[in-house]
Amino acid sequence: MKKSVFNGVVLTAVMAVLSCLTAVAGEPQADVKLILISVSGDSTVLGPGESAPTTLSAPLRVIFVSSLKTDDGKDYVMFPQWTVTHTDDQGREESYLKRQEAVTEYRMSDNGSFKVEFAWSYREKDSLETIPGADVQPMTFSIIASEIRLYNAFSPNGDGINDVYRIYTRSIVSIKIAIYNRWGQTIKTISGPMDQVLPADAEPENEGYLFEIWDGTFNGSVVNDGVYFINVQATGAGGETYEKRSDINVLKGLGVGN
């Protein structure tokens, strides 16, 4: 008797679930994702309820993508809304961005944590009745604070050991670099948004990049050993500004490490 009752309860529960599934089988569903593209071109894709596995670096290109899925053969109109909430390093929360396009894009240059929520409704094409869409779980990611480190020596002698002068950058949005010799003659300049000047093959390093600046040449020839100078002006995540200067010792006879 107990076994029959148990089987009856299970059967009733299964029928209830199947009934719910049948009821929503033809209803439109939202297909939602975020595409996060770093300054070096690496990408991370998030679906509802997912968080980026690592902390990202600014500037971050964020593509918001949504579409309507249906299998009932009807035409529907979708009304999407993206809402981004930002929490800074001090725990202060603010409304950061609102968009109402199905597919949209934004370049983020602030550090902190970000929560992306998607709300939507829909109606049949020839109807005036708007129906709320099913809930979509938020997606989250973080952008790390900015940093720049300058080094003071390299050895452009072709031995494969520290042949190129590099600096370390993390969450730098734009940068202006000038290298010059002891007589004030400009040897090399680099200037622009980081996502335009950073090489696509930049080497990842501690959540940032080793940025190749100078190969030790001037007018097609390797410069003489000696002291050169670098000036760096930059804007980092959240508007942080930097102005750094350093000596660069060119030592062709040594395989000098950073």
pLDDT computed for residue 92 by the predictor: 94
C-alpha 31/C-alpha 63 separation (Å) is 14
Which tokens is 121 given?
């409704």
Mean pLDDT across the stretch 192-198?
93
**19 pLDDT exceeds 50?**
no
pLDDT computed for residue 4 by the predictor: 37
C-alpha 57/C-alpha 50 separation (Å) is 18
* 37-46, 131-140, 196-205: least confidently modelled range: 196-205
pLDDT tens string 67-79: 999 988 889 999 9
**16 pLDDT exceeds 90?**
no
Mean pLDDT across the stretch 201-227?
92
Residue 71, helix vs strand vs coil? coil
The residue that leads in pLDDT, 18 or 149, is 149
The residue that leads in pLDDT, 22 or 178, is 178
pLDDT tens string 137-178: 999 999 999 999 999 999 999 998 999 999 999 999 999 999
pLDDT computed for residue 38 by the predictor: 92
Which tokens is 7 given?
């089987």
pLDDT computed for residue 2 by the predictor: 33
Of residues 35, 96, 36, 29, the one with CA closest to residue 65: 35
Q: Virtual CA dihedral for 171, 231, 191, 202, nearest 10 degrees? A: -50
Beta bridge partners of 231: 178, 245
DSSP codes, 193-234: EHHHHS-TTPEEETTEEEEEEE-SEETTEEPPSEEEEEEEEE
**15 pLDDT exceeds 50?**
no
Mean model confidence pLDDT for the chain: 88
pLDDT computed for residue 10 by the predictor: 36
Q: For the chain, what is the total number of helices (H) and then of strands (E)?
A: 2, 20
Q: Which residues contact 243 (CB under 8 A, 6 or more apart)?
A: 231, 232, 233
C-alpha 32/C-alpha 136 separation (Å) is 8
237 phi/psi in degrees, rounded to 5: -55, 140
Q: Which residue has the tokens 């049948």?
A: 22
Percent of the chain with pLDDT over 70: 88
C-alpha 216/C-alpha 39 separation (Å) is 25
The domains located in the chain, with CATH, are 29-143 (2.60.40), 147-250 (2.60.40)
pLDDT computed for residue 254 by the predictor: 55
C-alpha 171/C-alpha 84 separation (Å) is 20
| Residue 2, H or E segment | helix 2-24
Cβ contact 203:113 at 8 Å: no
pLDDT computed for residue 25 by the predictor: 53
Q: What is the DSSP letter of 157?
A: S
Of residues 155, 148, 173, 151, the one with CA closest to residue 230: 151
**230 pLDDT exceeds 60?**
yes
The residue that leads in pLDDT, 125 or 85, is 85
